[in-house]
Structure 1
Amino acid sequence: MLQKIIVSNCASENFFELLDKNSICYIKSLNNEKFNNNYNDHIDLSILRIDNDIYIENSVFEYYKDFLKDYNLIKVDVSDFKNGETVLNVAKNDKYFFHNEKFTSKEIFESLNLKREYVKINQGYSNCSMICFKNHIITSDEGVFKSLKSKNINVELVTTDGIILNGYKNGFIGGTCGFVSDDTLLFYGDVTKYQDYDIIKRVADEENVKILFPKGEDFVDLGGIVSLWR
């Protein structure tokens, strides 16, 4: 199946060349003016895919609708929520979803809860803070790490040091990457430059996941990549 993804429009030329070389079909994000200018290009604030449903923030709906026409598209107006930036920023794998129900809509929560077990965490920016493999979680948030540890979920804690996020001292690990298939994890930057690369590599090897990245690029947080491979 053709790999299709949505990525930040701020990614490097080398990153897009890597996608072309690997025949990965992509669309660049449209800045969402409802969000902070430092990260309004981050696609995981504007789009959430739950199986065959894709929730899209209504300000950018028209831009994405043709690229996503094979899915059931649902508009969401994040202006209706206290912190709209967290509404669609949900972390998940096939077994669990990680969020706090007060940070999202009832409809989204119930949709996720149909096929996945809810794991409550205090971090509203859940997807920003986590890489969700099938059997392991990697997080750069100590609170998330403690919550998952207490539930006996396989979780590894990594540093935020060295993750570049525009306007901030450090970024978050979930915003550096995204799965483009069951067995390929794509990073915006050179993950081998990262202090805790050894942890990521070990977990990826245990999960039989290949790591794909543009060599030599800064290790940046540009928001979690949204993938449409299945």
Structure 2
Amino acid sequence: MKNVLIDFRTSETEKENLYKNGFNSIIVPPSGHLYNAVCGHPDMLLHIIDKKNIIVHKDMDTSFINIIDNLDYNVTKTYKNLKDKYPEDICLNALNTKHIFLHNLKYTDKNLLSKIKGKKLCDVKQGYSKCSTALISDSAAITSDIKIHNVLKTNGMKVLLLPPGDIELPGLNYGFIGGTCGILEEGNIAFFGDLNNYLYKNTVLKFLIQEDIRPIFLSKGKLIDRGTLFTL
């Protein structure tokens, strides 16, 4: 059975549906350094560099690091501590595609940047680059950020640009599309919530069909930003 990294607030229904699809859930411990709405979001707390390397925030629970170690990943810690104010909260929230590493590079943790090899570094103003972007394959993405859209498209990716909003994130006005989902395996993407309850459902579903991607809805109700689902 494969493993996924998820927010501690992921519902039992969502975890059960992940299990039914062949995935064991590993809870990422929340950080008291971040504000409550995002304190358990995996895309704020860690970054998967590649299939063998993960970087976690400096104060990550040792028990979690041991779990990742036992899955044969090399674990590095950040140089900086997370803090609850922008930009001290974004040091790991970069978008890492097959060929591109995209972030507000001024604020990317230097230990993370040092591990990025053989990829084009793309600098954007949006510090929440991963939150803002859902990767659906190596060659396609969905985002609500026009500059991220333009950079990815310029670099050969197929990109769907959506308006912001209509995504739940308790404690804030709305969440980001990137935080609502994650690739389970090639051709399958899991969503927290149901796309059929999303204002832009037809646009997204059409794009997924065009890219031959099957959506899996982990729960009923509106899409909710849980800080991305990462498959190990």
Output aligned runs, 1:119-130, within 5 Å: 119-130=122-133
Gaps of 5+ in 2: none
Work out whether 1:46 is the aligned partner of 2:71.
Answer: no
**Equivalent residue letter for 1:204:** L
Q: Distance in 1 between matches of 2:221 and 2:63?
A: 28
CA distance in structure 1 between the aligned counterparts of 2:15 and 2:221, rounded to whole angstroms: 12
Q: Is the 8 A contact 1:98 1:119 kept in 2?
A: yes
Pairwise CA distance, 1:4: 0.9
**Contiguous gaps of at least 5 residues in structure 1:** none
Q: In the alignment, what sits opposite 2:9?
A: 10
Matched with 1:28 is 27
Q: CA offsets, 1:205-227, max 9 Å, x none?
A: 23322211124233101101122
Partners in 1 of 2:63 and 2:198 — Cα distance?
34
Match of 2:75 among 73, 76, 97: 73
Deviations 1:67-122 (A, max 9, x none): 2111001112532887332111111221212112111123322322x132222211
Asked whether the 8 Å contact 1:165–1:221 carries over to 2, the reply is yes
Aligned length: 226
Residue type at the aligned position of 2:185: S
- Matched residues in 1 for 2:228 and 2:111: separation? 22
Separation in 2, partners of 1:148, 1:120: 11
The CA deviation at 1:29 is 2.2
Distance, in Å, in 2 between the alignment partners of 1:78 and 1:33 is: 15
Question: Residues 122 and 167 of structure 1: is their aligned pair in 2 closer, same or farther, counting only changes over 3 Å?
Answer: same
For 1:64, the equivalent position in structure 2 comes to 64
Is the Cα–Cα contact under 8 Å of residues 47 and 88 in structure 1 kept in the other structure?
A: yes
CA shift in 2, pair 1:16/1:64, >3 Å:
same
Post-superposition offset of 1:14: 1.6
TM score, norm. by length of structure 1? 0.89
What percent identity do the matched residue pairs reach? 26
1:57-136 alignment runs, 5 A limit: 57-69=57-69, 70-79=72-81, 83-112=87-116, 114-132=117-135, 133-136=137-140
Q: How does 1:133-172 map to 2 (within 5 A)?
A: 133-149=137-153, 153-172=157-176
Paired residues of 2:80 and 2:109 also in contact (CA < 8 A): no
Specify the SS of the correspondent of 2:34. Answer: coil
Q: Name the TM-score, length of structure 2 as normaliser.
A: 0.88
Deviation at 1:140, TM superposition (A): 1.3
Change in CA separation of 1:207 and 1:150 when aligned onto 2, cut-off 3 Å:
closer
Q: Tell me the secondary structure at the aligned position of residue 115 of structure 1.
A: coil
- Cα distance in 1 for residues equivalent to 2:143 and 2:26: 27
Query: For 1:191-210, what per-residue CA distance to the aligned partner results, in whole angstroms no more than 9, with x for missing partners?
Result: 22112222322332233222
**Structure with bigger RCO (C-alpha 8 Å, 6+ apart):** 1
Secondary structure, in 3 states, of the residue corresponding to 1:155? strand
Cα RMSD after superposing both structures: 2.1
AA partner of residue 30 (structure 2)? N
CA distance in 1, matches of 2:224, 2:126: 20
> Relative to 1, partners in 2 of residues 1:115 and 1:196: Cα closer, same or farther, differing over 3 Å?
farther
Q: 2:207 & 2:31 partners in 1: Cα distance? A: 33
Q: Shift in Å at residue 158 of structure 1?
A: 1.0
Please say if residues 128 and 175 of structure 1, whose CA atoms lie closer than 8 Å, have aligned partners that are also in contact: yes
